[in-house]
Amino acid sequence: MLPDKLMLMGIKTVLEAKVKEAVLSIFNAELPAVEFQPTRKDFEGDITVVVFPMLRVVKGNPAQIGEQIGAFLEEHVEEVSAFNVVKGFLNIVLNDSFYVDFFNGIKDEANFGSVEEVAADAVMVEYSSPNTNKPLHLGHIRNNLLGYSVAEILKASGKKVYKTQIINDRGIHICKSMLAWQKMGNGETPESTGLKGDKLVGNYYVAFDKAYKAEIAKMLSDGVDEKVATKEAPILLEAQQMLIKWEAGDDEIVSLWKKMNGWVYDGFEITYKNLGVDFDQLYYESDTYLLGKDVVADGLKKGVFFKKDDGSVWIDLTEDGLDEKIVLRSDGTAVYMTQDIGTAIQRVKDYSDIKGMVYTVGNEQDYHFKVLFLILKKLGFSWAEQLHHLSYGMVDLPSGKMKSREGTVVDADDLMVEMTNTAKKISEELGKLGEYSENEKQDLYKMVGLGALKYYILKVDPKKRILFDPEESVDFQGNTGPFIQYTYARIQSILRKAKDTGVDFNAMAEVSDNLHPKEKELIKQLQLFPDMIQLAATNFSPALIANYVYDLVKEFNSFYQQVSILGETNESKKALRVQLSKKVSEVVESGFKLLGIEVPERM
């Protein structure tokens, strides 16, 4: 007998071998492979063998072939209790003992579905990576949730993971905020205004833009050409001067830069904490923006890059179907690409066990990463084969695109507060939280509100664009986070009562219990969890986990509706149902943990 954990894998292997054996003995033909699929709900059976592909080696009527193979399996495979053939599909019915054994095998397994860490196989996941001139918005939320969740999924799939971000803390955009604050700030601070630091700095970024636009308008009315005006508005020139001073290490500018960035970091920290994401290592662009130049020099020697007459350095990717791309300016300064090359190499130096990296960045940068990865491969780094751009679609509003300058962005902090308030409103209307303290209630509202937000975003395939409808995102019914949390809370309620009434949580399920169809369906669904984690990891897709958990919960609710759990008079059956409910809630909890969503004891 196989170890219980291997039952699922085992049954396929056993069936495959037996089907081949059947074909050999009945038709005297060698079958290269057997195709299985889960049996559709409308038919009786648990697993289905597709007969059509066999027609290549076996001549005959698919239905008849199915019948003959089915009869052979029923006779020779212990787990097969019955079969039926519809068209070319051989539906196999497995007996209860198969399911009972499987369930007994996993019911006490603590981290069911996850795989032990294989330390030699580390991957670095980069996400968030904001600019320090304005607060985080809905787009960053998608980025953070995706990156965090993929990191958790990779961990569960057996990888060692380092979570990181590169903070874009330098450049002209920060100088704009700094300059506006210098000119109009009157010494304001987060303390003096009561504003979150990132919000305060963001306000000055907006103030800069306003002043800049006003200057352009004035220049235009003075008869200046529009192109000239946008390039030569005094305040813009001043910001550019500031950047030059910063790069030269000017004391005054650098200390202002440190002060204002400090405010922003304090603000970001609050947002990250509320969002429930974290990082193992931070990289700052101010530390890395000079990296990569020596690599370019090196690559130039190797002939990977070439120099143009003006001194700029390029790579020719036309043979790979791409264009020429600049990697170093003619004045010898770095471009974005230079920096990314340098940073990637630096990371592998910092963490020698890294075998791959994941970059969570919006799909508008698809081309950039395609080029970056290609360059790193051409430079000959072995780890360059394992780079992945976790590219995701933009988040749009029903009104169209979010644009910070037009004030149509959805602020991350505001959104979280709004979702929490909605959860509070709904919860109060339902009024089920009598025994909760005020603090416990607040925690729950936040848990539910954020659960709704996170699930709403993560259930969508990352590469697809999201239409964020505030109305719909606030819906807590149907395929939503709160619906799943609710099911979890209901199970917890049953488990509390089960404990009080002395249900045996350790009893082994018995074949003689005669599994209810709904129980069987639940066990089938549970069986899929480990595979689902692996699939989500290879596809970098939290959406697969979200949809899996939803299906599991749907199945449970149906079970809950049809059969009585605590009302069951047969003690052994009752124990099975309680334990099954417990296992479902554990899988919901682990699945949601992979999405960064918490589950409540009651709601």
Centroid of chain to Cα 381: 27
Sites for RNA among residues 257-316 (CB under 7 A): 285, 308, 310, 312
Q: In the complex with RNA, which residue's Cβ is closer, 221 or 439?
A: 439
Tell the residue number behind the tokens 């644009």, with chain if given: 403
Q: In the complex with RNA, which residue's Cβ is closer, 326 or 508?
A: 326
Q: In the complex with RNA, which residue's Cβ is closer, 275 or 489?
A: 489
Q: In the complex with RNA, which residue's Cβ is closer, 218 or 432?
A: 432
Q: In the complex with RNA, which residue's Cβ is closer, 180 or 498?
A: 498
Give me the residues paired with residue 284 across strands: 167
Edge-to-edge order in the sheet of strand 387-392: 281-284, 159-167, 118-126, 354-362, 387-392
Q: Return all residues near 362 (Cβ < 8 A) that are at least 6 apart.
A: 139, 143, 391, 392, 393, 394
502 scored as a contact of RNA (CB under 7 A):
no
- Candidate ranges 88-96, 116-124, 351-359, 504-512; the one touching RNA (CB under 7 A): 88-96
Sites for RNA among residues 114-143 (CB under 7 A): 131
**Residue 411 Cβ vs RNA, minimum distance, rounded to whole Å:** 21
Distance CA 420, CA 423 (A): 5
Strands (E), 363-447: 387-392, 395-396
Sites for RNA among residues 46-65 (CB under 7 A): 48, 50, 52-53, 55
**Cβ pair 308, 264 in contact under 8 A:** no
- Concatenating the DSSP letter of every residue in 121-167 gives EEEEEE----BTTS--BHHHHHHHHHHHHHHHHHHHTTEEEEEEEEE
Q: In the complex with RNA, which residue's Cβ is closer, 385 or 601?
A: 601
Q: In the complex with RNA, which residue's Cβ is closer, 339 or 590?
A: 339
404 scored as a contact of RNA (CB under 7 A):
no
Phi, psi (5° rounding) for residue 67? -55, -45
Q: In the complex with RNA, which residue's Cβ is closer, 139 or 596?
A: 139
The residue from 225, 472, 504, 571 that contacts RNA (CB under 7 A) is: 472
Q: Return all residues near 358 (Cβ < 8 A) that are at least 6 apart.
A: 123, 124, 125, 126, 147, 150, 151, 154, 387, 388, 389, 390, 540
Q: Return all residues near 250 (Cβ < 8 A) that are at least 6 apart.
A: none
**Residue 519 Cβ vs RNA, minimum distance, rounded to whole Å:** 12
Q: In the complex with RNA, which residue's Cβ is closer, 227 or 251?
A: 227
Closest CA to 579 of 482, 571, 550: 571
The residue from 223, 249, 303, 478 that contacts RNA (CB under 7 A) is: 478
Angle, CA 129 vertex, CA 321 and CA 341 arms, to 5°:
40
368 scored as a contact of RNA (CB under 7 A):
yes
**Residue 391 Cβ vs RNA, minimum distance, rounded to whole Å:** 8
The residue from 121, 247, 250, 475 that contacts RNA (CB under 7 A) is: 475
Q: Both tokens of residue 193?
A: 């205004």
Distance CA 521, CA 121 (A): 36
71 scored as a contact of RNA (CB under 7 A):
no
- Candidate ranges 11-19, 342-350, 406-414, 469-477; the one touching RNA (CB under 7 A): 469-477
Closest CA to 218 of 204, 205, 234, 198: 234
Q: In the complex with RNA, which residue's Cβ is closer, 185 or 289?
A: 289
Give helix 542-562 / helix 517-527 axis angle, nearest 10°.
170
The residue from 199, 459, 524, 573 that contacts RNA (CB under 7 A) is: 459
**Residue 192 Cβ vs RNA, minimum distance, rounded to whole Å:** 30
Distance CA 325, CA 66 (A): 59
**Residue 122 Cβ vs RNA, minimum distance, rounded to whole Å:** 26
Give me the residues paired with residue 162 across strands: 124
**Residue 194 Cβ vs RNA, minimum distance, rounded to whole Å:** 30
**Residue 468 Cβ vs RNA, minimum distance, rounded to whole Å:** 8
Sites for RNA among residues 526-585 (CB under 7 A): 535, 543-544, 547, 550, 554, 557-558, 560-567
**Residue 569 Cβ vs RNA, minimum distance, rounded to whole Å:** 12
329 scored as a contact of RNA (CB under 7 A):
yes
The residue from 104, 189, 346, 363 that contacts RNA (CB under 7 A) is: 363
The count of C-alpha atoms lying within 13 angstroms of the C-alpha of 323, restricted to the half-sphere facing its C-beta, is 5
Q: In the complex with RNA, which residue's Cβ is closer, 100 or 495?
A: 495
Q: In the complex with RNA, which residue's Cβ is closer, 168 or 572?
A: 168
The residue from 34, 384, 460, 522 that contacts RNA (CB under 7 A) is: 460
The count of residues interacting with RNA (CB under 7 A) is 95
Q: Both tokens of residue 224?
A: 């200046």
Q: In the complex with RNA, which residue's Cβ is closer, 35 or 298?
A: 35
Distance CA 538, CA 359 (A): 15
- Candidate ranges 144-152, 233-241, 295-303, 457-465; the one touching RNA (CB under 7 A): 457-465
149 scored as a contact of RNA (CB under 7 A):
no
Sites for RNA among residues 164-193 (CB under 7 A): 168, 171-172
